[in-house]
Amino acid sequence: MLHLVAEAKLGDRIVVDSAGTGDWHIGQPPDERAQRAAQRRGYDLSTLRGRQIAAADFARFDLLIAMDDANAAALGEICPSEHGDKIRLLMEFATRDDSRVVVDPYFGGDDGFERVLDQCEDACAGLLKALRAQLVV
């Protein structure tokens, strides 16, 4: 998403951040397999570090995008009621892939990370289109 926002020259209007619902990988870089797959497509993930979602994020951001139902539910459990409508699944924005959630590649092989990238590229393009429509207003 960062790449698409930068390409669209919308970095001054769209803020992209990433956080996990758990505390397992705080301060750690992305999985090496994810970094390799992303690098093959021209994305550099090496500077990213894991952080856990914070209560302030619900007020700070207009959307909180979850990769799957478990993460959406975890967000819902800690989300203040006035911000509940901000939680969405990434794949809601996909245009070519009809999967409900992004697959979890963690326990599989390298091909799983390629599938995740396919899903994310599709859904992020749809998300950017939706955001652009809102920015025009």
pTM of the model: 0.92
Question: Is 118 annotated in the active site?
Answer: no
Confidence (pLDDT) at 108: 83
In the chain, domain spans: 16-136
Confidence (pLDDT) at 95: 96
Tell me, letter by letter, the H, E, C secondary structure of the chain: CHHHHHHCCCCCCCCCCCCECCCCCECCCCCHHHHHHHHHCCCCCCCCCECECCHHHHHHCCCEEECCHHHHHHHHHHCCHHHHHHEEEHHHHCCCCCCCCCCCCCCCCHHHHHHHHHHHHHHHHHHHHHHHHHHHC
Confidence (pLDDT) at 110: 85
- CATH node for 16-136: 3.40.50.2300
Low-confidence ranges of the chain (pLDDT < 70): 137
Q: Which is the catalytic residue, given 104, 110, 111, 118?
A: 104
